[in-house]
Amino acid sequence: MQFPCYADDTSLYSSATTIKSATDNLQLAFNALQYALFHLKLVLNTDKTKYTVFSRARETDSKLQIYSINGTPTEKVPHYKYLGVCIDDKFTFYKSYRQLV
């Protein structure tokens, strides 16, 4: 599990041989992060919490979901802008490329 931070942005990411394994690992790490923040009396802004499944597979399991500790599902997005770079779920960087052109 990787846990890079930059200013007030935090990312979690996981890789595994299956999307289900990666999602399960990510859920465990996300729960641990939320409990740590709770004990520090900090609150995670669930409205800003997003996740993306990066895969070269044609389809990903749409039933897989990441939940906050209060049971709220997080939003799955097809692309996400991180540190100024728009990364899409197929690693094409098309949106970043279009912004430069």
pLDDT one-digit tens code per residue, 39-83: 999 888 888 888 888 777 666 666 778 888 788 888 888 888 777
pLDDT-derived band at 94, boundaries 50, 70, 90? low
Residue pair 79/89 in contact by the 8 Å Cβ criterion: yes
Phi-psi region of 12 (alpha: psi -120 to 50; beta: other; left: phi over 0): beta
Residue pair 54/80 in contact by the 8 Å Cβ criterion: no
Domain ranges of the chain: 5-100
With 0.85 as the threshold, say if the pTM is over it. Answer: no
